[in-house]
Structure 1
Amino acid sequence: MEELTKAYKEISLELITRLENGELDTIEKLLDNRQEILNQEILNEESNKKRFKDILVKQGILEIDNNINNLLNENIIKVKNEIREHKMSKQANNSYINFNKNKLNIFNEKV
């Protein structure tokens, strides 16, 4: 069980490193690995789950998980802002193109 808690903590610390470096495309596998460890412990007896949880709490996993949560939220906000900026840029480009098309259509109208 101690190997699993060590692995869980190491994966969590690696997640923090990758989130801080902006390597968002590589975190899904790490999150899946953490979930696999939790699933292994969930399938075990109730007493093992409590012991597993106590070991993780003693190792300071709560602070690490809070840090991961904060970093994920920051990155979500950053990506949302990038999407919003891209959408506004696309709208501006479309407006400019449509404006220029209207100017060109003046020569095709009957006088």
Structure 2
Amino acid sequence: VRDKKDDKYLRVKVAKAMTGTQNLHALKAMADVVRDKKDDTYVRREAATALTDTQDDDALKAMADVVRDKKDDKYLRVKVAKAMTGTQNLHALKAMADVV
């Protein structure tokens, strides 16, 4: 999912396949994609969706940063916020409160 040389549609399929994973390497890879503003927005959205309900601190911090960044893609920010709705993580909750 992290290798930008791969076809974006393949990367999206990989992100979708990793939905719900607790594998730390996969979570880190998806968090890196969500965080990378130079990456394809479609891939970033699907990586964020794949992180739905994660409790991984690094992934949630990456997602919180995206939600707070008003210069980032609006649809991506909404996808990320939706992905964080089930969390109890303070960074994520504060990020969502900051944009309301």
Q: Name the TM-score, length of structure 1 as normaliser.
A: 0.29
Larger Rg, first or second structure (1 or 2): 1
Q: Which has the higher contact order (CA 8 A, sep 6+)?
A: 1
Higher helix residue share: 1
TM-score with structure 2 setting the length = 0.31
